């Protein structure tokens, strides 16, 4: 499968929707001051342009764009995120829980995050997404995997339309994953910060997800299920 990314112009909002969006965003920030209105990539369209090619059209927005989800009648563009399937030597898959400092506290998912737009003149392509995923894995888990060692594994569309690009990493020993995660969390706490992830778990199948306390991101069970079936 190949993924082709095409930049599209940003959405045009009516003055009424802009005002309602900003009001909703400000309320969200009051409830969670850690929210940051930085640049981010949103999706405008995803289709299969050829038998083995997906075309993903994207645009530059900021995080407050997602507050349109709470504005009646407004069109909300889905987000684009990357994450990493990090297996262990014995076939388990790493999952992680979002901390209280995030927009989704207590939610289990794979290591990863939203895609930031490239600098002017730089392309947003599969290689850029691969670098983004490698950076997220290093920041969240302390695993320094060369981007070229990450393999495009799947593209998913969530129940709210969000598009996930999932990469597979080379296996790591389970003790290494635990040690690196502990080191990242300790380093954040040492400077008075709350780590983005507060717990990890190794799972072998969707049945293992039922033992995790808290909600799961919508793609997690299908991804773990497909991974388990491939290993059989």
**pLDDT tens, residue by residue, 191-202:** 988 899 999 999
- Composition of the chain by helix, strand, coil, percent to 5: 35, 30, 35
Q: Give the list of residues 6+ apart from residue 215 with CB closer than 8 angstroms, or none.
A: 106, 107, 108
pLDDT at position 57 = 94
Mean of pLDDT values over 16-23: 95
- C-alpha span between 114 and 117 (Å, rounded): 10
pLDDT at position 32 = 84
Cβ-based burial of 169 (10 A; exposed 0-12, middle 13-18, buried ≥19): buried
Mean of pLDDT values over 223-232: 92
- C-alpha span between 97 and 75 (Å, rounded): 30
At residue 143 the predicted structure's pLDDT band, cuts being 50, 70 and 90, is very high
pLDDT at position 23 = 95
pLDDT tens digits, one per residue of 39-83: 999 999 898 877 889 999 999 999 999 999 899 999 889 999 999
pLDDT tens digits, one per residue of 150-176: 999 999 998 888 999 999 999 999 999
pLDDT at position 194 = 87
The predicted model scores a pTM of 0.93
pLDDT at position 21 = 95
Mean of pLDDT values over 210-220: 93
| Whether residue 232 has pLDDT greater than 80 | no
Mean of pLDDT values over 6-16: 90
pLDDT at position 209 = 95
> What percent of the chain is modeled with pLDDT above 70?
100
pLDDT at position 20 = 95
């Amino acid at each position: 499968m190949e993924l082709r990314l095409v930049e599209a112009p940003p959405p045009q909002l009516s003055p009424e929707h802009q005002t309602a969006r900003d009001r909703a965003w400000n309320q969200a920030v009051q409830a969670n001051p850690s929210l940051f209105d930085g640049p981010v990539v949103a999706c405008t369209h995803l289709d299969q342009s050829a038998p083995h090619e997906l075309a993903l059209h994207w645009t530059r927005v900021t995080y407050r764009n997602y507050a349109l989800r709470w504005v009646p009648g407004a069109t909300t563009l889905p987000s684009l995120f990357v994450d990493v399937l990090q297996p262990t030597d014995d076939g388990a898959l790493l999952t992680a829980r979002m901390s209280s400092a995030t927009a989704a506290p207590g939610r289990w998912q794979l290591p990863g995050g939203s895609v930031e737009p490239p600098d002017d003149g730089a392309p947003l392509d599969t290689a850029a997404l691969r670098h983004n995923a490698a950076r997220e894995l290093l920041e969240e888990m302390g695993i320094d995997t060369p981007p070229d060692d990450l393999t495009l594994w799947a593209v998913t569309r969530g129940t709210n339309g969000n598009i996930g690009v999932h990469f597979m990493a080379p296996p790591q020993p389970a003790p290494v994953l635990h040690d690196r995660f502990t080191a990242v969390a300790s380093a954040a706490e040492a400077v008075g910060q709350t780590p983005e992830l507060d717990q990890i778990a190794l799972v072998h199948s969707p049945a293992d997800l039922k033992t995790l306390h808290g909600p799961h991101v919508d793609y997690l069970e299908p991804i773990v299920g497909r991974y388990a079936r491939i290993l059989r």
